[in-house]
């Protein structure tokens, strides 16, 4: 009986092993056999293009070639190494050593070489040497959108920016040609050829408008040259959809020739500061404070200050034993009898202290969270920062007072732009995005980017009141240098001191402006951030004129008629 059980067990084991090898492992064993008895010539998938919203190519690919050698199939190593060295200007001695050592079954001789070079190679008919089509990434506009598009590694893998974020869509799938060979890798004359085709990557269209991008780039380069700052950055957003229309930063670098041998410089130049870095916004944040107060007043909150409320003309406010000053001395009646609209015009800090304290930290924090401060916006880009927002439980009145005018809080440029967009578009907060659509190599739609409404921030009535006030800031107040006759432009300036090691850094400021037009139906929103401008540093003098140039460029590019 035991012998019968043993035989049965052995029989079942053999049947099971046979099933495992013939069914479960069929594909794996097939490719192992192919690898042993074939020579593979790789077919590199063509990487998909990155384009603007209208199909203008921002990143494409150029046909090139890679050359390989199989040491065991090379007949004359010395002569082969010498020939390859002369053709491709590589170290012949090093190549010869690699071929003699034979540690690898295959050696990459050169990558991304031109067609004329492989045509010369073909004439030599070197045994054990072959080439395959490759593609080289090309950026037609050089440094345009360098901190958004990003670049690829030597093997065409996305390293930074959109190239990295959408690498799985752009990269495609490599194929190969398989030739039957003997054990040392020499092709068999009567052998068969198997062709596994490559699959091209998808094309990714961004929400970027190249016409607006070119305007923003030109203005930021000018700002960098004139004000000698650490950096100058511009973000243009569609406030109705939160699509990113342009993002320019200076200094920049040529995507076709990134400084790969200077890692710290490359990391610095490729970092998207408006998405990934935070700063104290200063007076541009007063837009959020005013929006919150107006909405609460419309809701009937008795603590909120009405649009007709007249603020004390005192130049300071004392909160928790600390004194908060206005940037102005209030001499000769300046900043007297101010309403919210006039407080925005004059950018008077004490008025926004009053608004924040009147709302109280619990109510004010509800709005800060609704405007997505302290959390990512969710844009399709790697490395977005959360910003810095104190826990509500830890906030004292003196902290709340300073948050009201843009201190004791740190934001990303994107967070601020989205918050202001929501405040002036009727109170709608969408997920910002860079993706417009994804198509295959034949133009078939694979995926379409869509605007996703996350939440409401304020009512349409509050938004309309605020937009009208911000139009007054540009027409009559601190934002005058962004004014363009015949166009309804609204906005707010900002000048924020910088901190180092917990202390105010003497003479270091962030100059900014956030604006939009037309104010009664915003279609374009522009944020300008100039980090440490030299000489004049006020947002009204540095950032507002830059925003005017961007707006004028958009008006000219899109042939937008004035309302006059």
CA torsion 460-425-54-48 (nearest 10°) is -100
Structure tokens that stand for 128 in this block: 């054990």
Question: Stretch 449-454: mean pLDDT, rounded?
Answer: 95
Residue 37 has pLDDT above 50, yes or no: no
Provide the 8-state DSSP code for 340.
H
Residue 124: how many CB atoms within 10 A of its CB?
Answer: 13
pLDDT tens-place string over residues 58-108: 999 998 888 888 888 888 888 888 889 989 988 888 888 888 887 777 788
Told to judge if 283 belongs to the known catalytic residues of this protein, a careful annotator would answer yes
CB contact at 8 A, 83 and 125: no
Catalytic residue among 66, 146, 283, 519: 283
CA torsion 318-320-323-325 (nearest 10°) is -70
pLDDT value at residue 72? 81
CA 544/CA 512 separation, integer angstroms: 7
pLDDT tens-place string over residues 309-322: 999 989 899 999 99
Provide the 8-state DSSP code for 40.
E
Per the listing, tokens 């020939």 go with 83
Edge-first strand order for the sheet with 193-196 is 38-43, 175-180, 193-196
Backbone angles phi, psi at 524, to 5 degrees: -135, 130
pLDDT value at residue 190? 52
Question: Which tops the pLDDT comparison, 130 or 350?
Answer: 350
CA 165/CA 258 separation, integer angstroms: 19
Backbone angles phi, psi at 20, to 5 degrees: -60, -45
In DSSP terms, which residues pair with 137 in a beta bridge?
A: 61
Start-to-end Cα distance in the chain: 106
CATH 3.90.1310.10 residue ranges for the chain: 38-89+103-206
CATH 3.40.710.10 residue ranges for the chain: 210-435+451-558
**Chain mean position to CA 485:** 33
Q: Which of 88-102, 375-389, 472-486, 550-564 is predicted least confidently?
A: 88-102
Structure tokens that stand for 452 in this block: 């996703």
pLDDT value at residue 71? 85
How many CA atoms lie within 13 Å of 200's alpha carbon, on the beta-carbon side? 16
Residue 527 has pLDDT above 60, yes or no: yes
CA 130/CA 127 separation, integer angstroms: 8
CB contact at 8 A, 231 and 528: no
DSSP, residue by residue, 422-448: HHHTTSEEE--B-EEEEE-TT--EEEE
Backbone angles phi, psi at 547, to 5 degrees: -65, -40
CA 47/CA 86 separation, integer angstroms: 30
Per the listing, tokens 């076709």 go with 256
CB contact at 8 A, 514 and 492: yes
pLDDT tens-place string over residues 391-434: 999 999 999 999 999 999 999 999 999 999 999 999 999 999 99
Taking phi first (over 0 means left), then psi (-120 to 50 degrees means alpha), and beta for anything else, what does residue 404 get?
Answer: alpha
Per the listing, tokens 């407080």 go with 343
CB contact at 8 A, 164 and 204: no
Architecture of domain 210-435+451-558: 3-Layer(aba) Sandwich (3.40)
Torsion sign, CA atoms 477, 480, 484, 490: negative
Residue 191 has pLDDT above 70, yes or no: no
Residue 149 has pLDDT above 50, yes or no: yes
The set of residues, in sequence order, having a beta carbon less than 8 Å from that of 86 and lying 6+ positions away, is 92
CB contact at 8 A, 59 and 149: yes
pLDDT tens-place string over residues 219-260: 999 999 999 999 999 999 999 999 999 999 999 999 999 999
Q: What is the CA radius of gyration of the chain?
A: 31
Question: Stretch 150-155: mean pLDDT, rounded?
Answer: 90
The CATH code of domain 38-89+103-206 reads 3.90.1310.10
CA 405/CA 400 separation, integer angstroms: 9
Question: Stretch 137-142: mean pLDDT, rounded?
Answer: 96
Structure tokens that stand for 266 in this block: 């490359």
pLDDT value at residue 367? 98
Torsion sign, CA atoms 73, 78, 79, 80: positive
CA 548/CA 388 separation, integer angstroms: 30
**Chain mean position to CA 23:** 47
pLDDT value at residue 76? 87
Backbone angles phi, psi at 439, to 5 degrees: -130, 160
């Amino acid at each position: 009986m035991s012998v019968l059980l043993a035989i049965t067990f052995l029989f079942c084991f053999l049947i099971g092993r046979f099933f495992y090898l013939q069914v479960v492992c069929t594909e794996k064993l097939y490719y192992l056999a192919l690898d042993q008895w074939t020579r593979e010539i790789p077919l590199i998938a063509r990487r998909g293009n990155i384009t603007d919203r209208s199909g203008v190519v921002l990143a494409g690919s150029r046909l090139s070639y890679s050359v390989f050698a199989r040491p065991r199939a090379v007949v004359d190593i010395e002569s082969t190494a010498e020939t390859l060295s002369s053709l491709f200007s590589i170290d012949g001695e090093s190549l010869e050593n690699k071929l003699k050592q034979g540690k690898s079954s295959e050696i990459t001789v050169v990558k991304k070489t031109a067609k004329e070079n492989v045509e010369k190679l073909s004439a030599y008919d070197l045994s054990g040497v072959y080439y395959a089509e490759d593609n080289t990434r090309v950026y037609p506009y050089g440094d345009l959108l360098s901190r958004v598009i990003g670049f690829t590694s030597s093997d065409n893998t996305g390293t930074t920016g959109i190239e990295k974020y959408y690498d799985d869509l752009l990269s495609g799938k490599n194929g190969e040609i398989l030739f039957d060979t003997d054990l040392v890798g020499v092709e068999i004359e009567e052998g068969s050829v198997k062709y596994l085709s490559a699959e091209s990557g998808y094309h990714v269209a961004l929400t970027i408008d190249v016409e607006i991008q070119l305007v923003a780039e030109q203005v930021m380069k000018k700002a960098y040259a004139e004000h000698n700052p650490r950096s100058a950055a511009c973000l243009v957003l569609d406030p109705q959809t939160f699509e990113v229309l342009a993002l320019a930063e200076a200094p920049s670098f040529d995507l076709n020739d990134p400084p790969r041998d200077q890692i710290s410089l490359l990391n610095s130049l490729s970092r998207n500061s408006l998405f990934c870095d935070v700063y104290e916004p200063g007076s541009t944040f007063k837009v959020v404070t005013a929006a919150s107060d107006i909405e609460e007043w419309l809701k009937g909150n008795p603590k909120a200050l009405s649009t007709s409320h007249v603020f004390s003309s005192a130049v300071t406010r004392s909160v928790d034993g600390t004194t908060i000053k206005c940037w102005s001395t209030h001499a000769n009646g300046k900043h007297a009898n101010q309403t919210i609209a006039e407080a925005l015009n004059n950018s008077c800090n004490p008025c926004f202290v009053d608004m924040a304290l009147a709302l109280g930290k619990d109510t004010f924090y509800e709005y800060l969270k609704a405007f997505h401060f302290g959390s990512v916006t969710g844009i399709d880009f790697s490395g977005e920062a959360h910003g810095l927002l104190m826990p509500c439980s830890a906030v004292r009145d003196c902290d709340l007072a300073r948050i009201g005018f843009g201190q004791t809080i740190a934001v990303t440029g994107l967070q601020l732009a989205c918050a202001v967009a929501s405040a002036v578009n009727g109170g709608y907060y969408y997920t910002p995005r860079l993706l417009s659509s994804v198509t295959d190599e034949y133009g078939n739609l694979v995926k379409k980017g869509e605007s996703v409404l996350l939440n409401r921030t304020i009512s349409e009535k509050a938004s309309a009141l605020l937009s009208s006030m911000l139009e007054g800031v540009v027409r009559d107040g601190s934002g005058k240098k962004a004014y363009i006759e015949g166009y309804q432009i609204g906005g707010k300036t900002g000048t924020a001191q910088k901190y180092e090691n917990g202390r105010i850094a003497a003479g270091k400021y962030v100059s900014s402006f956030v604006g939009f037009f037309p104010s009664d139906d915003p279609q374009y929103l522009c944020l300008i951030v100039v980090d440490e401008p030299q000489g004049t540093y006020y947002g009204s003098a540095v950032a507002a004129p830059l925003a005017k140039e961007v707006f004028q460029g958009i008006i000219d590019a899109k042939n937008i008629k004035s309302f006059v």
